[in-house]
Structure formats: structure tokens, C-alpha cells
Amino acid sequence: MSQLRHPADDGDKLRIDKWLWAARFFKTRSLAVDAVEAGRVTMNEARLKPAKAIGVGDHLVIRLGPYQFEIEVLALSGKRGPASEAQKLYRERDESRARRAEIAANLKALPPPTFKGRPTKRDRRDIERFEERTRHVTNKAWGDFQ
């Protein structure tokens, strides 16, 4: 039986950390709390606290690693279920989906540094250059959302 609450239940609110966990953006609620506290989750362009109540129609921006999700909350659920149910909780903007695909393609095009055994000082510098290029690709794709 589904725990989804749809737009008809206007007065319903749910903690953001619990919703992020139920929508499968984070594997545990503690990871969701950490992300909200670190400012990687914003609602209507404002930072949140983990106990902030969200409702249907709220717009969230969630940054996971180099990727950024811009979503609208369609339903509320405090219970974690299968991925097919979790996808019904939100709708992602097309621009967000396209930007994530572009970042993935750019990151895939960058060859990772290779070395065998323990990294030398030169290998470490190669790794740092690779990480810097990765940050550059990510920042360029995010544009002014940083």
C-alpha cells in the first residue's frame, strides 16, 4: 500500500530530511541531514535546516557531487519505498536533466590519471591536475548556480 500524499492534502507538511531519504536522493537520513546542513539542498533559493517542513509545489535544488537536480515536489512520503514510487514524489526540470547529461559526458571525456603501485610525487600532481579539471568542467556546466 502506497504512503504517497498528493496535492489534495494541502495542509500536509514533512521534514525535508525525511522526504529526501524517501525520494531516494540519499541512502540514509543522516546523509540527508548532513547535506541539508552543508547547504547542498536549497528551497526556493534559500538554505534550509533539516527539520524544515516542505510541501507540495516547493522547488528544491539538490547538489550531489558534480551533479545538480532542480526539482518540484509533487507528493509527500515519509516512508522509503521502491524507486518507482520515489520517482512519483518529484518532477525534475528538463534543463536540469540536460545539464546533468552534459556534465556526465564531459567527465567521461576526461581520462583519469593512471599509475601502478603507490603514487609518486609526480603522480600526486597529475591527480591534483585531474581533480582541478573536473572541478572546472563542473563549475562551467553549473554556470551561475554556484
Burial class (CB in 10 A: 0-12, 13-18, 19+), 1: exposed
Which amino acid is present at 129? R
How big is the chain, counted in residues? 146
pTM to 2 decimal places: 0.70
From first to last of its 146 residues, the chain has per-residue pLDDT tens of: 455 554 444 458 899 999 999 999 999 999 999 999 999 999 888 898 989 999 998 999 999 888 899 999 999 988 998 999 999 999 999 998 999 898 888 888 877 767 778 888 988 898 888 888 777 666 655 554 44
Lookup: cell for 100: 546533468
Q: For residue 9, give every residue at least 6 positions away whose Cβ sits within 8 Å of its Cβ, in sequence order, or none.
A: 56, 76
pLDDT digits (tens, 9 = 90+) for 50-75: 899 999 989 999 998 888 999 999 99
| Listed residue (134, 129, 133) closest to 66, CA to CA | 134
Q: Containing H/E element for 47?
A: strand 46-47
Residue 7 has a pLDDT of 43
Q: Are strands 53-54 and 14-15 parallel, antiparallel or unpaired?
A: antiparallel
